[in-house]
Amino acid sequence: MRSLATFDGRRGEIAIIENRTTGARSYFEDGVLQSEATPDGISLFAYVHLMARLLWPACDVLLLGCAAGSLATMLQLQGKRVTLVDDNPLSFDIARQFFGLPSEVVCVIDDFRDYLARQRACFDAIGIDIGAPGMRFDEQFDPNVCRRVRSRLATKGQIVMNIVASHDIDPKPDRILAMLAADDLNGWIYDRPGKINRNAILAAVPWNWPYLGPRLDRDNLHIERVEWRCRRERRRLGTQNPPHTMR
């Protein structure tokens, strides 16, 4: 391993570390691993590939949260129009210099809540990956913020969010997804039961949306092998489509 750079970030030191053997690069913030990707920006995290698959039907995507910018890079390489919002301009500089963030990605320096309040354009899909150290999702995504997210979504669009689930009965994923989905979208949670402090993916999608069990494309990718469980948001459990395993 070798250190490529360190920066004084708003939430602690940011360190970019490269694996000498594989060339993979890691983005640490305040000692916490936030991103891991190839030098050209392809993520080595399974959850990022899952989010990219769930956002695939969209053409015009709003992403909240940058870090290494891998999700934005992967979507732009698929031909999407991507707008990336983060309140830290340093994140954009790091993503471009060390993780290949394409110049075509529109980068907006703003607090995501202020951006949502001011923005009037709507997007085919909204991806949310905001997970800074010490992040309190319940406080950041209260009913008002979730309504603002929904207000920027075009008809028949989808919202996909990465959240940290503390344990199997953590109520946060279901509570936040219920607010994002409300009554006109279908709520699904992609999870890995049994693990503590794990990534869980919330998907608020149209009721007739067919992409409920995507397979991760592992061709030439050294990402972790993860078994995901897909279930409905709990207020709708038992109504149709029981949970299934997705590898």
Q: Between the CA of residue 56 and those of 28, 82, 212, what are the distances in Å?
A: 28, 12, 12
Question: Which stretches in the chain have pLDDT values below 70?
Answer: 132-134, 210-227, 235-247
Q: Is 110 exposed, middle or buried (0-12, 13-18, 19+ CB in 10 A)?
A: middle
Residue 112: its pLDDT value, please?
Answer: 95
Tens digit of pLDDT for each residue in 18-43?
Answer: 999 999 999 998 888 999 999 999 99
DSSP-assigned letters across all residues of 217-239: --TT-------EEEEE-GGGTTS
Q: Is 12 exposed, middle or buried (0-12, 13-18, 19+ CB in 10 A)?
A: middle
Residue 133: its pLDDT value, please?
Answer: 56
Residue 137: its pLDDT value, please?
Answer: 87
CATH of 45-246, picked from 3.40.190.80, 3.30.1360.120, 3.40.50.150, 2.70.70.10, is: 3.40.50.150
Structure tokens at 202: 């919330």
Q: Between the CA of residue 98 and those of 24, 89, 186, what are the distances in Å?
A: 10, 14, 37
Q: Between the CA of residue 202 and those of 113, 152, 166, what are the distances in Å?
A: 19, 17, 15
Residue 241: its pLDDT value, please?
Answer: 43
Tens digit of pLDDT for each residue in 184-195?
Answer: 999 999 988 888
Residue 214: its pLDDT value, please?
Answer: 43
144 Cβ contact partners less than 8 Å away, ≥ 6 residues apart: none
